[in-house]
Amino acid sequence: MTDASELVTAIVRQALTGRGAHVETLGALDGLDWKLAGERPDGDSHSIFQIVNHLVYWQEFALQWLGGDKPRTPEHAELSWPGDEQPATAADWEGAVARFRSGLESLAERAGEGSLAADLKGKTALEILQLIASHNSYHVGQVAALRRRLGAWSPPGGGATW
């Protein structure tokens, strides 16, 4: 029998990956051409490249908090959308995806370290991880919608199409 803390850790890790809820978080980016990643169909607010950089920003923010710091929340929301609208090269896109992947892996590791109930300057580790999982899930939905509109859905690993 798994104890409650192991179960919660497993659930948090599953939430971070999106597994069971929608296309896996990283899978939503698979096979996407770097040039399409910078497109904003019909004048959408953000490109997929911008969304990925935004996700990286908040994952790094959460990792700082989980590490014992309490990073400053940006004064304005647009400050959490760093970088350009489009990647200049394929390497720029691949670098952003690699940073996103690395952040997800680090967050999953943190889920298994120490107490998820520990107070980290105003929030528990569990609260921070849940917030990031929800935030990522929301934006992965945006990525899926943008890919559909760009004619680039579904990713090679598959994805819901209904």
125: left (phi over 0), alpha (psi -120 to 50) or beta: alpha
Specify the pLDDT at position 124: 92
Amino acid at residue number 78: E
- Evaluate the CA torsion angle 79, 85, 89, 91 in order and state its sign: positive
The alpha carbon of residue 105 and the mean position of all alpha carbons in its chain are separated, in whole angstroms, by: 11
For residues 86 and 47, the answer to whether their CB atoms sit within 8 Å is yes
Q: Give the number of C-alpha atoms closer than 13 A to the C-alpha of residue 130, restricted to the C-beta side.
A: 10
Predicted structure pTM score: 0.91
Q: 120-133 burial, b if ≥16 CB within 10 A, otherwise e?
A: beebebbebbbebb
CA 79 – CA 136 distance, rounded (Å): 17
Q: For each of the chain's 162 residues, which pLDDT tens digit applies?
A: 357 788 888 888 888 888 777 778 888 999 999 999 999 998 899 999 999 999 999 999 999 999 988 899 999 999 999 999 999 999 999 999 999 999 999 999 998 888 888 888 889 999 999 999 999 999 999 999 999 999 998 777 766 554
Tokens coding 134: 């929800």
Q: Give the number of C-alpha atoms closer than 13 A to the C-alpha of residue 26, restricted to the C-beta side.
A: 14
